[in-house]
Amino acid sequence: MAPFAFWYEDDPAGGFVRFPTELECEHLMGLPEGWTKYGADGEEIRAASRYKALGNAIALPCAEYIMAGIKEVLHDPV
């Protein structure tokens, strides 16, 4: 996971670098809050495993867009 850097244009010395939280990563992927928090057995998943799962996933809005295009082609053949 790459860190997030933030600086104000007029104050380059006042910026900071940090990693996004698991929750922020879920939001960026278009997933509901806490989607990766628990495993199938109900046990809480470690942060590193959550980041790995999110990194190996496809963003939900992207998947929805692709599937809508496939549906359009299948229902309206040229």
Place of tokens 């900071």: 16
Query: pLDDT of 3-25, one tens digit each?
Result: 667 677 777 677 777 888 999 99
Backbone angles phi, psi at 38, to 5 degrees: -125, 145
Query: pLDDT of 30-47, one tens digit each?
Result: 999 999 999 999 999 999
Helix, strand, coil distribution of the chain in percent, nearest 5 = 40, 20, 40
Geometric angle at alpha carbon 64, from 61 and 66, rounded to 5°:
110
d(CA 41, CA 67): 30
How many residues does the structure list for the chain? 78
d(CA 6, CA 8): 7
- Sequence spans of domains, the chain: 22-75
Model-wide pTM > 0.85: no
77 compared with 21, residue with greater pLDDT: 21
